Amino acid sequence: MIKNIEEVSCAFLHDVDLLCFSHLRWGFVFQRPNHLLSRFSKHQRVFFIEEPIFHDAADKIHIENYNDNLYVVTPHLQHRPNGEEVVSGLQKMVSSLLLQMQVNRFFSWYYTPMALPFTEHLNPELVVYDCMDELSAFKFAPPELTQFEKQLFAKADIVFTGGHSIYESKKNAHHNIFPFPSSIDKAHFGKARKIRKDPEDQKAIPHPRFGFFGVIDERFDIELIDAVANAKPDWQFVLLGPVVKIDPATLPRHANVHYLGGKKYEELPNYLAGWEIAIIPFAINESTRFISPTKTPEYLAAGKPVISTPIRDVVSPYGNNKLVHIASNAEEFIAAAEAELAKKRRSSWVKKVDEFLEGNSWDRTWSQMVRNMAATLEQNTSVKKAKEGAYV
């Protein structure tokens, strides 16, 4: 029996590659896939295969070697007249990749069911679906995504979910499914507690500052930020991150709302350090129904008070444990912010936060996932042997 993570890593991962099929690009925003796959790459080769980029030139594969074991693979496809030819082109590219990189034994790890049509020909030793979001609820989601997800549930040996609410939604769809909410790199975000120097593009912004980092898209509560910024012109809103899938012209435009663009993961503690309050201003809609914002524990690890809209995976456990303020509208947001800004000391709250976050880490999440994968593979092997023995 496998007893510890070192034994798991040596016996289970070292001789097998991992092929990850993702709807996210590696360099977009450093989030769950980056954290987990970086850790896998310490023990095995990881091929992070992005969605294709369409162009007018001939088909080609771009492979970027991020470290000794991590390869980011971007297919470049010549424009095709229909979806079947796109699938055929991607199948050939994936097969070519396996030959070029001498991939023999491998696991398949999916972040998107849309990769299923061009990977059906593969023969992985284990199929993992890390269901981090309800992708069908996102803006511009392909109509066939729901059907492909059903097929992926049928194909997967093991399923992970990005939080408890999505686990509750999906738990009856698979026999071997485990919830893994957002984790943190406490040491990284904990740096914000000691940093005193502001980044150049933030230092001229007055205080108090309310900060957000992440993707600004259809999940962002534009009306909330607009209302609070309008009602409190002396409060400054610092918003970090790319604007995608929505028209930038629809965003609030006030003198106290500052869009500083996307920042590297390494830079985030420097910005967090200069905020009075961190915010999670997500709208309550279908696209946010099952999300588990990674930024919640990251903000807390930085020692920053947090105000969030009532996202289910923020309310429970963070709101219920009085670690985060929950505000359903502008009036509640303002009341929570005024109460927080009036505080002179937060030492007891910080102690409570640190106790709550103790043991929460991406290393621990990764190791638990590996244990689940190892147990699944061991069980599959036992079942296969039993079937083979029945025919002897």
Q: Which amino acid is at 284?
A: I
14 pLDDT more than 90: no
Q: Give me 218's structure tokens.
A: 């259809």
3-class DSSP state for residue 24? coil
pLDDT digits (tens, 9 = 90+) for 320-355: 999 999 999 999 999 999 999 999 999 999 999 999
Q: Which domains, ranges and CATH numbers included, belong to the chain?
A: 5-183+361-390 (3.40.50.2000), 186-357 (3.40.50.2000)
pLDDT of residue 1: 43
Q: Which two tokens stand for residue 390?
A: 């029945």
Quote the tokens at residue 65. Answer: 């070697």
Q: Is the Cβ–Cβ distance between 42 and 5 less than 8 Å?
A: no
Helix, strand, coil percentages (3-state) for the chain, rounded to 5, are 40, 20, 40
Pair of tokens at residue 32: 């769950």
**pLDDT (tens digit, 9 = 90+) per residue, 262-301?**
999 999 999 999 999 999 999 999 889 999 999 999 999 9
Q: Report the predicted TM-score, pTM, of the whole model to 2 decimal places.
A: 0.90
Write down the mean pLDDT value for the chain.
93
d(CA 342, CA 381): 60
The answer to whether the beta carbons of residues 77 and 60 sit under 8 Å apart is no
